[in-house]
Structure 1
């Protein structure tokens, strides 16, 4: 039987002070392509369901490969997270980033429940860039923050400041994860970087998406 992946994307399209945001398309597309070429069954879900917004910044420069642009069709009608019964029918959960995740993933009760179920069932929990915002509210059954004591990475405070969007964020992701007890390992800005702690796989930035997706594939094979 083919493996089944739950990809959870943001449906938040604005950040503080009304600035537009959404999903970073390459982080979704690169992972989707890696999973699709392995024949995996992929379900794309989001907090609100329906169309997931793509951050226009992720398309700037006109250099996005066509195969990445083509994956946007899978964002037209996402499943609502509430309709996902549980982790039992999936082998892994993958959360791509985009600044939108900072606004609708940390406090999503359904997502927190799913992540706990995946993790405590020894299934893969993977995320990249701002995707680890989904881990911020996740706890284990005993109430401990899921990331406490785990070695992970995420979009760094320095990278956020370099984007100049730090002033429009509800918090800085690296700092919040450290506050929750995570051992956050980072490299220089925009360096390809991944951390693996058991079945918890995290990537630092958009440049790290493919290596994270390939690590998910390797663990599932």
Structure 2
């Protein structure tokens, strides 16, 4: 049986329901991982917190963020047909997947953290030894996930994700609903980041694999693939 990856994507299209501040899936964070996993022959599926359509982050659709990988995904009709009607967590059986990969974009700060369904899937995959991974803001999907013991999954683990410094440099620190880096630390995570902002940085701690920012998607996926093999 082929190795199976479950990508988590967002349904949120704006900051605080304000159409003047659109957001959504940061496409390259999905496409770079998709490319790596496809090269390994892994089967790949999508899930979103509410099911249904996945908006795209407009800022990620411009050069240089809209790179060759993102463009190829966007130009592939078969792949783009996956986005308008994604399944919700209740349609997913966690035993069907060897790894879960949380994509990012600021949108996920709103709909990832409190999804009971995503938490269930993540906990079940993790507790049976599967890989739990995230890139950039995707780690917001891990903030409130608890193990069967009641402990936060990320407590005591080395991990990374989009840093507060990067929020400030991206000029969205006044828009985001909370400080994700601080929230991870409050839950006992051993948060770390690269010395320079926006460079690729990925952290492996057992079967938890996390990447810091959009540029970390490929490195994170490579580490996930290595762990699965």
Please give the residue correspondences for 1:41-190 in structure 2 after superposition, counting only pairs within 5 Å: 41-61=43-63, 64-72=66-74, 73=80, 74-85=82-93, 87-187=94-194, 188-190=196-198
The count of aligned residue pairs is: 220
- Separation in structure 2 between the aligned mates of residue 98 and residue 217 of structure 1, nearest angstrom: 22
Name the counterpart of 2:77. none
What is the CA–CA distance in structure 2 between the aligned matches of 1:14 and 1:60, rounded to whole Å?
Answer: 18
Distance 1:75 1:115, change over 3 A: same
Return 5+ residue gaps in structure 2 as ranges: 75-79
Of Structure 1 and Structure 2, the greater helix share is in 1
Q: Please, what is the CA RMSD of the aligned residues?
A: 1.4
Q: Report SS of the residue matched to 1:168.
A: coil
C-alpha displacement of 1:69 = 2.5
How far apart, CA to CA, are the structure 1 residues paired with 2:104 and 2:87?
Answer: 18
Moved more, 186-195 or 126-135: 186-195
| 2:208 is the counterpart of 1:196 | no
- TM-superposed deviation, 1:118: 1.0
Question: Per the alignment, in what secondary structure is the counterpart of residue 63 of structure 2?
Answer: helix
TM-score normalised per structure 1? 0.95
Dislocated runs of 4+, deviation >4 Å: none
TM-score, normalized by length of structure 2?
Answer: 0.92
